[in-house]
Chain A
Amino acid sequence: MQSGPSSVSPATAALEAQLEQRLAEYGFAELPESELPAVRGAWGAIVEHATLLTERKTRTGS
């Protein structure tokens, strides 16, 4: 799965940019390089779903 569409909202872009920082924060700084593409793909899916939630919040105000 790709990390998302090429034109993304600032919130989505911020989430995407957080990946490496969060990996380090949670103790995964030493994760082998070979694992990163799959983690990036899984993180992309989370960003995609989280973006839907954010859009709904903006739409409904709740």
Chain B
Amino acid sequence: MTICAPPMSARQIVQAITARTSTAEKQVEAALARIAALDGKLNSCTRVLGERALAKARALDQRIAAGEQVGPLAGVPFGAKDLFDIAGLPTTGGAASRLQASPASNDAEAIARMEQADAILVATCNMDEFAYGFATINAHHGTTRNPHAFDRLAGGSSGGSAAVVAAGILPLSLGSDTNGSIRVPASLCGVYGLKPTHGALPIEGVLPFVRSFDDIGPFAANLEDCALAWQVLGGDASGDFAADDKPLRVGVLGGFFAEHDEADLTTALDAIAQALGNCPAVVLDDVKIARSAAYLITAYEGGQLHLEALRDDPLAFDPATRARLIAGAIMPPEYYAASLAIKRDFYATTMQAFDKFDVLIAPATPAVAPLIDDPTISINGASMAARAHLGIFTQPLSFIGLPSLAVPLLRPGRLPLGVQLAAAPGNDKLCFQLARQLEDLGLTGVSPAPSPSSPMQPSNAGVNM
């Protein structure tokens, strides 16, 4: 095979390895070759774990040769955001100040579950420092570029994890989502990304940011792989993720969620509503205030978490994060308490909507990927900083712990845009069911990034590729 051949899907890899038409070692070697060939420009990986990955692959091949049964992700190479513990390495959170931190003694539980299913970790992925941002602009590691247009942001904070999948370097990756850090880069890079029900997937061994909202989840280039990784991470990979054929009651979130300047989003959501049988618009009260409360809880908890280190050496922090962490650390606690009260109220309001609807649909981001040289987006005619505002539609949903699946709109040849499918806590499966319906209707799905073997051209500002 040529080193830049697009990777197979996770399911295809498992099939090839178990049928012995390929080996885990070959799959890992191919993934490492793709990283070497493609990631120089993309900047999605921060550490390549070649030795560890090849050792695991060879051990797996020996088990297969011995006729042993293997896991549901046998031989699938994957990446993980640079905040998951990896035994023997410092957990950096994308921070230069943590490069010399004590090495982790064990793998994070999520990594362990993936590898118990015989997936193979090959790289760590770039991120905004300490997961504070929607851009993946990192002073130490550099900016991760969008595989669909190298002059544009990949989104963040799990931008490396999204880009490595969108570029076809790896079939799966893991990220974390506190306010939208999986769903925002999934939308901008045009892949699937799941923010699960809060607390449903294992967070042990993941560097915290805001414990009230922190979750981990998978990115994948197709729905089936995303669902399989979700099942593996949740500890049960048996059964069809979307087997229930019961018709879903679907609403499209309006009001605050319709306040954007991206005409394509409006058209796409109208088409989805129509295709699903004229599903109604749903307007929740106080979404803007809920988003403010999410912002304040994030600032306060994030600031408190890093307060001691900020006092000791503030300049050791990334310039892009330290001012916001300091401002959060000195925030009056009464605003934190008020924000928690709003969280309770907004949860109750939203749960009433789920009495009538199984899944609510909203845009995942208010715009396509912004230019790296001009990281701003337009909302209601106003120019706003992308780093702070790309998550305006994701924050209010994760704020109250809902599962939310970012699904790419099918738009080949154009910059990616995604919608999020949100359900009541514990109903993650319904998000996958609706995603399958939307794919079957031809409305959503991955539009591949330009071929890695042909040069990627810079995009013009405001013009789709």
What residues of chain A have their CB less than 8 Å away from a CB belonging to chain B?
Answer: 1, 15, 18-19, 22-23, 25-28, 31-32, 35, 38-39, 41-43, 45-46, 49-50, 52-53, 56-57, 62
Tell whether, in the assembled complex, residue A28 and residue B314 are in contact, meaning their CB atoms are under 8 Å apart: yes
B22 interface residue per 8 A CB criterion: no
Residue picked from A1, A23, A27, most chain B C-beta under 10 Å = A27
Closest residue of B by beta carbon distance from A44: B327
* Size of B's binding interface in residues, CB under 8 A: 32
Closest residue of B by beta carbon distance from A1: B385
The CA-CA distance from A32 to B331 in the complex, in Å, is 20
Tell whether, in the assembled complex, residue A46 and residue B327 are in contact, meaning their CB atoms are under 8 Å apart: yes
B319 interface residue per 8 A CB criterion: yes
Distance in Å: Cβ of B169 to nearest Cβ of chain A: 34
Tell whether, in the assembled complex, residue A32 and residue B315 are in contact, meaning their CB atoms are under 8 Å apart: yes
Per-residue contact bits, chain B 323-365, to A (CB 8 Å; 1 contact, 0 not)? 1101111111001001101100100000000000000000000
> Which residues in window 290-326 of B have CB below 8 A to A?
292-293, 295-296, 299, 307, 310-311, 314-315, 319, 322-324, 326
Q: CB-CB < 8 A to A52: which residues of B?
A: 288-289, 292
What residues of chain B have their CB less than 8 Å away from a CB belonging to chain A?
Answer: 286, 288-289, 292-293, 295-296, 299, 307, 310-311, 314-315, 319, 322-324, 326-332, 335, 338-339, 341-342, 345, 385, 388
Residue picked from B286, B299, B319, B330, most chain A C-beta under 10 Å = B330
Q: Work out how many contacts link A and B, with CB atoms closer than 8 A.
A: 80
Tell whether, in the assembled complex, residue A28 and residue B326 are in contact, meaning their CB atoms are under 8 Å apart: yes
Q: Is the interface of B mostly helix, strand, loop or mixed?
A: helix
| A42-B324 contact given A49-B295, A52-B289, CB 8 Å threshold | yes
The CA-CA distance from A42 to B388 in the complex, in Å, is 10
Identify which of A22, A38, A49 contacts B319 (C-beta below 8 A). Answer: A38
Q: CB-CB < 8 A to B299: which residues of A?
A: 42, 46
Q: CB-CB < 8 A to A18: which residues of B?
A: 332
| A53-B296 contact given A25-B330, A26-B307, A32-B315, CB 8 Å threshold | yes
| A35-B323 contact given A50-B296, A53-B338, A56-B289, CB 8 Å threshold | yes
Identify which of A32, A39, A56, A57 contacts B327 (C-beta below 8 A). Answer: A39
The CA-CA distance from A28 to B311 in the complex, in Å, is 6
Distance in Å: Cβ of B42 to nearest Cβ of chain A: 28
The CA-CA distance from A43 to B331 in the complex, in Å, is 8
Tell whether, in the assembled complex, residue B327 and residue A49 are in contact, meaning their CB atoms are under 8 Å apart: no
Having A18-B332, A53-B338, one finds 19 other A-B pairs with CB under 8 Å, namely A1-B388, A15-B332, A19-B330, A27-B311, A28-B311, A35-B314, A35-B315, A38-B319, A38-B322, A42-B299, A42-B323, A42-B324, A42-B328, A46-B327, A50-B292, A53-B289, A53-B296, A57-B338, A62-B345
The CA-CA distance from A31 to B310 in the complex, in Å, is 10
Q: CB-CB < 8 A to B288: which residues of A?
A: 52
The CA-CA distance from A30 to B325 in the complex, in Å, is 16
Distance in Å: Cβ of A27 to nearest Cβ of chain B: 4
Tell whether, in the assembled complex, residue A26 and residue B329 are in contact, meaning their CB atoms are under 8 Å apart: yes
Q: CB-CB < 8 A to B292: which residues of A?
A: 49-50, 52-53
Tell whether, in the assembled complex, residue B328 and residue A53 are in contact, meaning their CB atoms are under 8 Å apart: no
Distance in Å: Cβ of A58 to nearest Cβ of chain B: 12
Tell whether, in the assembled complex, residue B342 and residue A56 are in contact, meaning their CB atoms are under 8 Å apart: yes
Closest residue of B by beta carbon distance from A43: B327
30 A-B pairs whose Cβ atoms sit less than 8 Å apart in the complex:
A1-B385, A1-B388, A22-B332, A26-B311, A26-B329, A28-B314, A28-B330, A35-B314, A35-B322, A35-B323, A39-B327, A42-B323, A42-B324, A42-B326, A42-B328, A43-B330, A45-B295, A45-B388, A46-B295, A46-B299, A46-B327, A46-B328, A46-B335, A49-B292, A50-B292, A53-B292, A53-B296, A53-B342, A56-B286, A56-B289
